[in-house]
Amino acid sequence: MESGPSSTQGPRSLSKHHHPYFSVDEVEYLSEKQRGKLSTGQEEKARQQACGFIELVGTKIGFPRKTIATAQSLYHRFHLFFPRKDFHFHDVSLAAIYVSSKMHDTLKKPREILMSSYLVRFPEVAARSKSIGGDVDMDPQTVEQDRQRLLAVERLILETICFNFTSRMAFPYVIKLGRTLNASKALIKLAWRLSVDVHRTLVPIQYPPHVVALGAIYTAALLACMDVFAPERPQPTATDRKIASMLQRPGPWEDNYMTHAKDLDEIAHLTLDLLIQAAQNPSANTSPRTPSSPSPHPSPMHAFSGQSGHAPAVQIPYKADSLIQLKITLRENEAAEQRALRPVDGAARADVRAAIANEANMLGRNEGTVRFLFAPESVAGAV
């Protein structure tokens, strides 16, 4: 009697390397794969809904800005590897908050996070609750089921980061780079708030924190130099205009700051898209204040207290038409500079996509043994 091949083979042993950042092509490929039948507009709407929910819950608990921002980035990373249709955004958002609280040593128990989420999701139930300690009077079985789902998604999020709890934020770089560039205090504050809002996009998982910070300073300089006067906007100084002019074009500064002008342009466009969306839909959830904010003033999008779970319609200091015109001007400048992009090697792109897809298929499975390595494959292979 012949035995099957599985009787002579043990479980597979695989290795997955941590990817701190993804290229634009990788993000496009993975997002398209996990988007399913959703359009890009529907996907963006779902992304902003989840980020708004994370903002509200994080603020309700009292988490510092770094914890909230990292949770938003973890949410984005999660849906590069797992389909949106298979998970409710509440479960993924709360699990991302839980993992982020561990990463920044601001740990809260799952039950505390759930209770804060109930205050946001069910304000009418919270208003009727008379529980001691601020807990919402929820069915214990429902709470336990939600807790189990949170812990299940937590495990998947940990796999997406290869259990690497290292997290570097752009916020300190905004202050340091702003001072290095002799930017005005008003410009630095605006850049800091833009670096907060940019975590609602995929920028933090595409670029290192110093590039994100420099992109926020560049975008802030562009906004400050717009030819539209508004009392709410910081008025540009000569130095601020010089910063916008310098960072707009390639030059020696690229080597000094270890970045490229085209990367800052991409960050600026994504940030402007976010502000345009907020200007066109003022009732959308946006970034509230947090205990770690350097100023009581709201972000460029607009602030709200988050007591009811809905953002009031607050006018922001930028008109959608002005922001769109700024994007058009940036595109025209890019064409005038004739920035030559490196030709894309079709075979190399296919290899990269195949490799990232192979690693994505390792996640969320209980087949064989997976080694999660902190360093990217190129770094690990050189050691």
pLDDT at 303: 40
More confident residue, 310 or 41: 41
- Cα–Cα distance list, 332 to 158, 266, 328, 335, 338 (Å): 42, 14, 6, 5, 10
Tokens of 65: 């800005």
Residue ranges of the domains in the chain? 24-166, 171-337
Dist CA 143 CA 36 (whole Å): 30
pLDDT at 99: 98
Each residue of 261-287: pLDDT tens digit? 999 999 999 999 999 998 888 765 444
pLDDT at 353: 63
Closest CA to 247 of 266, 260, 231, 235: 260
Each residue of 307-317: pLDDT tens digit? 344 444 445 67
What integer is the mean pLDDT of 337-365?
Answer: 57
What integer is the mean pLDDT of 293-302?
Answer: 45
pLDDT at 318: 81
Quote the percentage of the chain above a pLDDT of 70: 72
Dist CA 60 CA 53 (whole Å): 11
CATH, domain range 24-166: 1.10.472.10
More confident residue, 56 or 234: 56
- Mean residue pLDDT of the chain comes to 81
Cβ contact 361:5 at 8 Å? no
Q: In which region does residue 141 sit, left (phi positive, over 0), alpha (psi from -120 to 50) or beta (all else)?
A: alpha
Cβ contact 383:171 at 8 Å? no
Each residue of 88-108: pLDDT tens digit? 999 999 999 999 999 999 999
Dist CA 328 CA 194 (whole Å): 20
More confident residue, 368 or 252: 252
Task: Write the DSSP assignment of 195-232 as a string of letters.
Answer: HHHGGGSSGGGTS-HHHHHHHHHHHHHHHHTSS---TT
Cβ contact 138:55 at 8 Å? no
pLDDT at 125: 81
What pLDDT band is residue 233 in, cutting at 50, 70 and 90?
low
pLDDT at 360: 63
Each residue of 112-160: pLDDT tens digit? 999 999 999 988 887 777 655 567 888 899 999 999 999 999 999 999 9
Residue 65 above 70 pLDDT?
yes
Global confidence as pTM: 0.82
Cβ contact 14:367 at 8 Å? no
